[in-house]
Amino acid sequence: MIKTWLKRLITVTAAAVLMMALAGCGGSGGSEEDKSLQKVLSAKQLVLGLDVNYPPMGYTDENGEIVGFDIDVAQEVCDRLGITLVKQPIDWDAKEEELNSGRIDCIWNGMSVSPEREEAMCISKPYLRNELVLVVASGSDIRSKQDIKGKKIGVQSGSTTQEVLEGSELSTENEVLTYDDNIGLMQGLRQGELDVTFIDSVNAYYYISMSDDRFFVLPESLGDEVFAVGFRKNDKALCEKVQETISEMRADGTLKNISAKWFGSDITIVK
Amino acid sequence: MKKRKLSGYFAVQSMIFTTLIVMFFVVGIIVYYSMLYAETREHITKIGELNAETSAEQIDKYLSSGVDVLRMTGYTLDNMIRNGNSQEEILAYLENQSIAVSNITSGNSPGFYGCINNGYLDGTGWVPETDYAPLERPWYVEAKANIGRVSVVGPYVDSRTHRNIITLSKTLCDVKSVIAMDFSMDQLQKIAEDLTAHGKSYAEIVLNREYKVLAHSDKSEIGKCYFTEPGSFGNALIDELRSTDENYFFLRYEGADYIVYTTTVANDWFCVSVIDATSSLRRLKRPLIFIFAAALTILAVQLVIIIRSNKNTQIAKQLSDDLSEAENAISEKDSRIGEISKLAFKDALTGVGSKSAFNRLTAELAEKHKTSHTPTAVVMLDVNVLKNVNDTFGHDAGDKYLCGCCGLICEIFRYSPVFRIGGDEFVAVLRNADFSDREKLLQKLRDACDESYSHTDRMPWERYSIAAGMSDWLPDEPDIEQALLRADKAMYDSKRSFKERHKELKSISR
């Protein structure tokens, strides 16, 4: 009797399993343990890598302090996580190596999202929009992109602007000069070393607004991109936690206030 | 017995088999319906998506018309600034453009104004108050913050026209000058209301970046900020909207199902189309629920049948057990009956054949006699003085006496059946060897009795005395009766002679 019941039980179980399998109720497989968040919380610090000449996102002010929109947001995130923010100046050209060597935990400095970077890193959701613009000095006769022929164009090395410029006909018809940072680039323009700079709008507008000198932004934008925070490819837990905290800041108005402090209004694009 | 067990086993087997087939079909149907459900859901979603895209397109088109006009004007202003045109020239241009834009937009925008080369210029003819600080106005601040892109400010109610308006503004080439235009939201609101009125959607909503309602098919929602309305439909909607990267999502709110489509329009605004999918999804769910219910019912019935068949098997087993018990009882009874019959054909006291057994034998012999005659003799035997022993020494002694006599008879007629046919009467049927020796055996018996009776030292019940008469069954007699009568007569003769020899016995018995 027990045998026949056992048989029945097996049959029913098998049928149920079959049913579930057919209904597609499969479970998800396990994944490798991600200790990135735990590591940062244990160390009680987040090491942020930045190019300190990228106002207003992150730069050294007149008092020698590293400040900026990104720094304020990162500081708030760290405060909420109960850890210290360590600001680590890096060579923008070597940012991926800095990240992968473990010297820094993230690149958080107006980093544009590109397919290559998305492939190489774990990237947060975008938080700001940026355009790639051409800027000329006040006395320039360049009115539009068509006028740029046989000129000296400046661009920051290792930036997405450099990539875009090198991919366009501007680089073949003109002399391209690379600069380590955007402040140097704008100074080069001001001092007449350059006829035109190809630069991130966030940076250019901030610089021009703060400067007493007159510069003109050409009407054409050569590209539209977004800024996001970059983490090591496998540091998903850390990336998600930071993203989650930024979303909270978006909901409670903190992000808006930080944006207003640096831009005059909330221009963040965090959902 | 075995057959019954086997049939029960096959019943269970076939039940399991049937269950498997039923379940296979049920699973098949469920899978089919699940696929159908998914496909129909997808279909509904796609149709909704198409509608939402159309709505977003209309809204975007309306806003874009303003944005495009502003950009075009900005482009000319950029050149005027670069050319070093005077403020008067720029103002004149703005006035001309304002008339044009007012006509193009059917009055939805009165025209342009801005802060150019550090001075406020108004193409619409509006003269600001003396304390008017353009650099502090939202349209200026927002434009500066939005770095070259067209910013959208508002909505707010225009103090002059009392219309619900937004302001579009944008920095010019020098980054410090800003051009702006007011734009009526009435048209946008009308689009939202029309889209809903035509039954394409449940609600059409335009939200700005702060999740403030700019336009809503339900007018009363305008101006609400969904961020600060916990528990509301709007709050549930933006919660979901914020957490998804998809351009549509399913939302369940207060028991109803909605599909929500979001499209980004203008400057990071959200155009949200909400479709009430409750009825269409429920209509889809109903057959699925029915199938599930049917499947469960079938399974339940199967289960009941299995349990009952199991019970029946048990009952059958019980019955067969009972039957075998009954059979055992019957066979036991049979053997007992055999025993009883044995007892019936046996004399209880002496152990020789009873009167019934004798009758049966005589009947059998008579039957056999019809075909062939076997030489047969009968010996009638009567135990003498039994009554005396009984009366004088009690029945126990009488019984002993009777048994002793019987033993003597059996010993003499060793190969012949002996029957007790009365209280003190026995009969022996002699055939074969005993028939041949019949006279000798009869004499042997008489001698033995004489010898036994002569022992006066023995107890009276140990002194055996038997009167015997013998007769042959003659071949022409159909049965043994005549022989018995003759033997009986002979036996009485013998008895009489015994009594005459022992006349003292009469006095003893008295």
In chain B, where the domains are located:
355-509
pLDDT at A159: 84
Please return the burial class of B335, using the count of CB atoms within 10 Å of its CB with bins 0-12, 13-18 and 19+. exposed
Residue B486 has pLDDT above 90, yes or no: yes
DSSP string, B451-467: HHHH-TTS-GGGS--EE
Question: Does residue A161 fall inside a structural domain?
Answer: yes
Q: Which single residue is written with the structure tokens 């009869």? A: B442
A114-128, B46-60, B302-316, B330-344, range with greatest mean pLDDT: A114-128
Would residue A153 count as lying in a domain? yes
Is A263 in contact with B145 (Cβ distance < 8 A)?
Answer: yes
Distance in Å, alpha carbon of A209 to nearest chain B alpha carbon: 7
Fold observed for domain B355-509: Alpha-Beta Plaits (3.30.70)
Are both A62 and A116 inside the same structural domain? yes
Residue partners of B496: CB distance under 8 A and separation at least 6 = none
Shared domain for A134 and A220, answered yes or no, is yes
List of chain A residues whose C-beta atoms are within 8 Å of the C-beta of residue B227: 251
**pLDDT of B285-303, one tens digit each?**
777 777 778 778 877 887 7
Nearest to B16 among A8, A131, A259 (CB): A8
Domain-located, residue A255? yes
> Which residues of A are less than 8 Å from B148 in CB distance?
131, 133, 201, 205, 217, 221
Q: How far apart are CA A158 and CA A174, in angstroms?
A: 19
Distance set, CA B211 to CA A228, B183, B215, B271 (Å): 22, 20, 11, 11
Asked if residue A151 belongs to a domain, the reply is yes
B462 contact A CB<8A: no
**Residue A11 located in a structural domain:** no
Crossing angle between the packed helical segments A254-263 and A69-81, to the nearest 10 degrees: 160
Please name the member of A11, A250, A265 whose beta carbon is closest to the beta carbon of B141: A265
Give B62 to chain A, closest Cα distance, Å. 22
Q: Are residues A146 and A220 in the same domain?
A: yes
In a domain, A5, yes or no: no
Contact: A23, B82; criterion CB under 8 Å? no
The lowest-confidence range among B336-345, B355-364, B395-404, B497-506 is: B336-345
pLDDT tens string for chain A (271 positions)?
A: 445 555 555 555 555 655 554 444 444 444 567 889 999 999 999 999 998 888 889 999 999 999 999 999 999 999 999 999 999 999 888 888 999 999 999 999 999 899 999 999 999 999 998 889 999 998 899 998 899 999 999 999 888 889 889 888 888 889 999 998 888 899 999 999 999 999 998 888 888 888 888 899 998 888 889 999 999 999 999 999 999 999 999 989 999 999 999 988 888 888 8
Q: Say how far apart CA B259 and CA B42 lie, in whole Å.
A: 11
Q: Across all residues in chain B, what is the average pLDDT?
A: 84
- Other CB atoms closer than 10 Å to residue B495's CB: what's the count? 17
Looking at the DSSP bridge assignments, the partners of residue B206 are B215, B271
Q: How far is B329 from chain A (nearest CA, A)?
A: 28
Structure confidence at residue A108 (pLDDT): 94
Whether residue A104 is found in the same domain as residue A214: no
Residue-level pLDDT at B470: 92
Contact with chain A for residue B396, Cβ under 8 A: no
How far is it, in rounded angstroms, from Cα B215 to Cα B194?
12
Which of the pair, B344 or B377, is modelled with greater confidence? Answer: B377
Residue B312 has pLDDT above 80, yes or no: no
Taking the Cβ of residue B174 and every Cβ of chain A, the question of whether any pair is shorter than 8 Å is answered with yes
Q: Are A135 and A209 in a shared domain? A: yes
Contacts of A247 in chain B (CB under 8 A): 242
CATH number of A121's domain: 3.40.190.10
Its ipTM equals 0.78
Angle at B471 between CA B467 and CA B473, to 5 degrees: 150
Q: Check CB contact under 8 Å for B306 and A8.
A: yes
Are the beta carbons of B238 and B251 closer than 8 angstroms?
no
- Nearest neighbour of B148 by CB, restricted to A4, A143, A217: A217
pLDDT at B1: 47
Nearest Cβ partner for A201 among B78, B142, B147: B147
Task: Supply the pLDDT for residue A5.
Answer: 55
Cβ-defined contact of B147 to A216 (cutoff 8 Å) = no
Q: Give the chain A residue whose CA is nearest to the CA of B25.
A: A19
Number of structural domains found in chain A: 2
Nearest Cα residue to B183 out of B163, B167, B171, B205 = B167
Give the chain B residue nearest A56 (alpha carbons).
B145
DSSP B257-298: EEEEEEEEETTTEEEEEEEE-HHHHHHHHHHHHHHHHHHHHH
Do B176 and A208 make contact, defined as CB atoms within 8 angstroms? yes
Write down how long chain A is: 271
Band (pLDDT 50/70/90 cuts) for residue B11 is low
Q: Where are the beta strands (DSSP E) in A56-165?
A: 58-60, 66-67, 84-89, 106-112, 121-123, 128-137, 152-156
Within-domain flag for A43:
yes
* Cβ(B386)–Cβ(B398) below 8 Å: yes
Are A183 and A166 part of one and the same domain?
yes
pTM, entire model: 0.61
CB contact under 8 A, B148 and A201: yes
Q: Is the pLDDT of residue B3 over 70?
A: no
Name which of A211, A217, A224, A269 to mutate to probe chain B: the one with the most chain B Cβ atoms within 10 A of its Cβ: A217
Percent of chain B with pLDDT over 90: 19
CB atoms within 10 A of CB B458: 12
Q: Using CA atoms, how far apart are residues B303 and B71, in angstroms rounded to an integer?
A: 75
Nearest CB to A23; choose among B30, B75, B81: B30
Q: Cβ–Cβ of B145/A216 closer than 8 Å?
A: no
Other CB atoms within a 10 A radius of the CB of residue B450 amount to: 13
Q: Give the pLDDT band of residue B89 (cuts 50, 70, 90).
A: very high
Residue in B34, B82, B145 nearest the CB of A216: B82
Q: Are the Cβ atoms of B175 and A15 closer than 8 angstroms?
A: no
- At B382-440, the pLDDT tens digits run 998 888 888 888 888 888 898 999 998 998 888 889 999 888 899 999 988 889 888 99
Judged by a CB distance cut-off of 8 A, whether residue B341 touches chain A is no
pLDDT of amino acid B24: 85
Task: Name the strand (E) or helix (H) holding A95.
Answer: helix A95-101
Q: Do B354 and B344 touch, CB atoms closer than 8 A?
A: yes
Q: How far apart are CA B192 and CA B201, in angstroms?
A: 10
* Structural domain harbouring A221: 130-225
Indicate which of A1, A3, A5, A8 best probes the interface with B, i.e. most B CBs within 10 Å of its own CB. Answer: A8
Mutate to test the interface with A, among B5, B25, B83, B175 (most CBs of A within 10 A): B175
* Phi and psi at residue A57, to the nearest 5°: -75, -45
- pLDDT tens digits, one per residue of B13-38: 777 777 788 778 878 877 887 888 78
CA separation for the pair B185, B191 (Å, rounded):
10
Query: Is B510's Cβ below 8 Å from some Cβ in A?
Result: no
User: pLDDT by residue (tens digit) across B313-333?
Assistant: 777 777 778 777 877 877 777
- DSSP conformational letter for B477: -
Distance of alpha carbon A3 from alpha carbon A33, whole angstroms = 44
Instruction: Work out the pLDDT band at B8, boundaries 50, 70, 90.
Output: low
When CB atoms are compared, the residue of A205, A216, A218 closest to B147 is A205
Residues in A closer than 8 angstroms to B141, CB to CB, are 264-265
B277-282: long-range pairs with CB below 8 Å, 24+: B277/B44, B277/B48, B277/B250, B280/B44, B281/B41, B281/B44, B281/B257, B282/B257
Q: Which residues of B touch A129 (CB under 8 A)?
A: 149
Residues A252 and A177 in one domain: no
State yes or no: cis peptide before B155, omega within 30 of 0: yes
- A20 in a domain, yes or no? no
pLDDT of res. B339 = 64
Does the beta-carbon distance from B147 to A221 stay under 8 Å? no
User: In A, which residues are within 8 Å of B30 by CB distance?
Assistant: 19, 22-23
B507 pLDDT more than 80: no
Query: Please, which residues have CB within 8 angstroms of residue B407's CB and are 6 or more apart in sequence?
Result: none
Whole-number Å distance between alpha carbons of B64 and B99: 19
Query: Rounded distance, CA A164 to CA B289, Å?
Result: 56
Q: How many of the other CB atoms lie within 10 Å of CB of A234?
A: 14
What would the pLDDT profile of B123-171 be if each residue is shown by its tens digit?
998 888 888 899 989 899 888 888 878 888 878 777 777 888 889 999 9
- Phi/psi of residue A99, nearest 5 degrees: -70, -50
Are B165 and B63 in contact, with CB atoms under 8 Å apart?
A: no
How many A×B Cβ pairs under 8 Å? 100
Q: Which residues of chain A make contact with B81, given a CB cutoff of 8 A?
A: 216
Q: Say whether A264 and B82 touch across the interface (CB within 8 A).
A: no
Chain A CB contacts of B173 under 8 Å are 216-219
Tell me which residues of chain A have a C-beta less than 8 Å from any C-beta of chain B: 4, 7-8, 11-12, 15, 18-19, 22-24, 129-131, 133, 143, 201-202, 204-205, 208-209, 214-219, 221, 247, 250-251, 256, 259, 263-267, 269, 271
Name the residue among A130, A219, A265 with its Cβ closest to that of B145: A265
- In terms of Cα–Cα distance, which of B183, B249, B235 is closest to B207? B235
Kindly tell me if the per-residue pLDDT of B67 is higher than 90.
no
